[in-house]
Structure 1
Amino acid sequence: MSSSPMYFPPGFDSEKAIFLNQLVITAYDMYSQWLYQGMQAKNRFGWAPKGPKLAYSEPIWGEDTRFLGIFGRAEPFAFVASTEDNDVYLIFRGTESHSDWSENIKLEQTPYSLAPGYGSVHQGFFSIYETMRDTIHKYLEEIPNPKRLYIAGHSLGSSLSTLAVPDVITNTSYKASLPVIHYNLASPRTGDPDFADAYNANEVETYRVVNTCDVVPTVPLSVTSSKLPLPIYKHVGVPVDFTAQYGEIVENHSVKGAYLYALQHPKQPEENKR
């Protein structure tokens, strides 16, 4: 099969996008290790990072607080890592558990209360992010002499990374002292137009990598009607589009099979895949 080449806008670093994609895969593997170890409590889970050679924090845990009584436990969602020359990475994985799905399907919005002027955001995504933000701040502030911060995620993790950006640049030392750059993969819409407009004005370099054949970036809806009065959402950042049809909903959304493959084969992101 053949497909159109990926579009790389000015400023987009494809090698850095591949590296960040590999770190997101490392976050997914962290969750897989947790499952293999029987979903241990925080103080009993032994994570052995299998990604790029970096200095890794302990796992950052998130909870579905509104449905905790049903689904029952915190999950490892994210980590902070750094290089020897003090590049810093804040990385989020996407949906894995029933609890994660329960948050995805909520369409209600809630005010973004972590920074002024940012409108409203997806209530489910925000409720998860709130449970991990104190730990995110702690691990970020523990990095000595940071040079720049990269934030990245996939799917639900992209929405969590989007929610992290205004929080980090408002409530930590990072925005004042160094660049913050955000790459996300397969992101759903995260907030309302007021949130998106405020985000796009905050000068954080943001690239949204999206397969046009992936359904996840098409939700929640960006339109409404009098017959279906739902809250409306708007994407953030500069889109980095590719079109690759791998024949299945899951494959078109896959962090490895779609997004990493396309970044590694930008001239033919669909070649040899069907």
Structure 2
Amino acid sequence: MAQSCYDSFDFDPHSKYCGTCKYDPPRFFHRLGMSDRGYTLTRYLYATSNINLPNFFQKSTTNNNNIWSPHANWMGYVAVATDDHELRRLGRRDVVVAWRGTVTYLEWIHDLKDILRPAHFRDDPNVKIESGFFDLYTSKEKEQNCAFCSFSAREQVLAELRRIIHRFRGEDLSITITGHSLGAALALLSAYDVAEVKLNSGIPITVFSFGGPRVGNLRFKERCDELGVKVLRVVNVHDRVPTVPGIITNEKFQYQKYLEDAMSFPWSYAHVGVELGLDHTHSPFLKNTMDLRCAHNLEAHLHLLDGYHAKGEKFWLASKRDVALVNKSCDFLKPEYGVPPNWWQDEHKGMVRSGEGRWVVPERPRMEAHPADTAHHFEQVIKYAK
């Protein structure tokens, strides 16, 4: 579900739809070959691109009067388990929030200012979050008259979760939040927020994070633990992104020293949850490369996760996940497997032939910006929190 955020996102700067999802919600899982997963997509999530992370957002280079939005980027979605078989398998109705990261471009990590600011989602000013992540999660652009930015990403996800929880009240529910890279930061931040405002109220909340950076200070980590937010951080030990912001090392002595410093200095960053460290050199399918984008790639993480069984155990693919997927957006597979690099793209890059015989970018259905009851549900979240 985290990978689907990449496979459905329009990265093409020549497209007037750059920065949005390529598929409309009713056909989202079908177009991605995920119709059998048992989930129904209920809402798309957006964030304003007018914040200080310029290398993360995608914008169209075409005429501004012709693009879908000059200020917004599609950031992910909310989905709920609706299939009877899936409900029986899980023993509950699961709600998923999936956040988009960035496929290969790592320049955004250089824009992190290493500035911690109070979250203020509750009353403790000592809970602090990296300022870029906070702005991405909480900013909106009402004055710009952008329908997609009239609510912040925070307001959107809290309102949608409240609507779903209210709709299925009385049932056993769970909330699962996932993301890769910067999307992993949003996943942790939103999970903390949901728990802090008590929106989950007895509903277990879990984060599956892939290649995520550190999000907040030690008090943020402690508060997540106190609130019962469960986090599994899947990382490639050769990936640099999980080491930012700040400096960390795998050496036990220095790591202990880091923790002691974090206890002494509340502005120090700290990871949350349990780490599952994977090593791409253990896979017989992957070549040696110094390309940091390969080490950070999400499909590579999923490949390593499929082949990992225990520390020191032999690497073998449990689900027979197609190794060709690794090269969707990078060049990581050994040449003998005959898979071209960066092969994932729409046929003809989305161009179709019109009735007049001309090749054009087809019009897409106008996406709903926000459901009409968004403000109501968010107000109810804040009212309950207070």
- TM-score normalised to the size of structure 1? 0.77
The corresponding residue for 1:134 is: 155
Is the partner of 1:166 in helix, strand or coil? Answer: helix
Corresponding residue pairs, total = 246
- 1:27 and 1:150, CA in 2 relative to 1: closer, same or farther beyond 3 A? same
Which 10-residue stretch deviates more, 129-138 or 29-38? 29-38
The corresponding residue for 1:184 is: 209
Is the partner of 2:122 in helix, strand or coil? Answer: coil
Contact 2:235 2:278 in 1 (8 A): yes
Consecutive unaligned residues of structure 2, counting only runs of 5 or more, are: 60-69, 88-92, 139-151, 249-257, 262-266, 282-287, 318-322, 324-332, 335-386
The corresponding residue for 1:105 is: 112
Tell which has more relative contact order, 1 or 2 (C-alpha 8 A, sep 6+): 1
The corresponding residue for 2:130 is: 122
Asked which structure has the greater CA Rg, the reply is 2
1:198 aligns with 2:234: no
Is the partner of 2:178 in helix, strand or coil? Answer: strand
Distance 1:167 1:51 in 2: 32
Consecutive unaligned residues of structure 1, counting only runs of 5 or more, are: 1-22, 226-230
- 1:121 and 1:193, CA in 2 relative to 1: closer, same or farther beyond 3 A? same
Spell out, residue by residue over 1:125-172, the C-alpha distance to the aligned partner (whole angstroms, 9 max, x if none): 110111301110122122232611111111101111111112111335
Is the partner of 1:125 in helix, strand or coil? Answer: helix
1:52 to 34, 37, 58: 34
- TM-score normalised to the size of structure 2? 0.56
The corresponding residue for 1:156 is: 182
Contact 1:104 1:125 in 2 (8 A): no
AA paired with 2:245? P
2:79 to 54, 78, 81: 81
Distance 1:200 1:103 in 2: 29
The corresponding residue for 1:251 is: 294
The corresponding residue for 2:9 is: 31
Is the partner of 1:178 in helix, strand or coil? Answer: coil
Is the partner of 2:191 in helix, strand or coil? Answer: helix
Spell out, residue by residue over 1:13-44, the C-alpha distance to the aligned partner (whole angstroms, 9 max, x if none): xxxxxxxxxx0011112323786852369799
1:61 aligns with 2:46: yes
AA paired with 1:238? V
Distance 1:164 1:51 in 2: 27
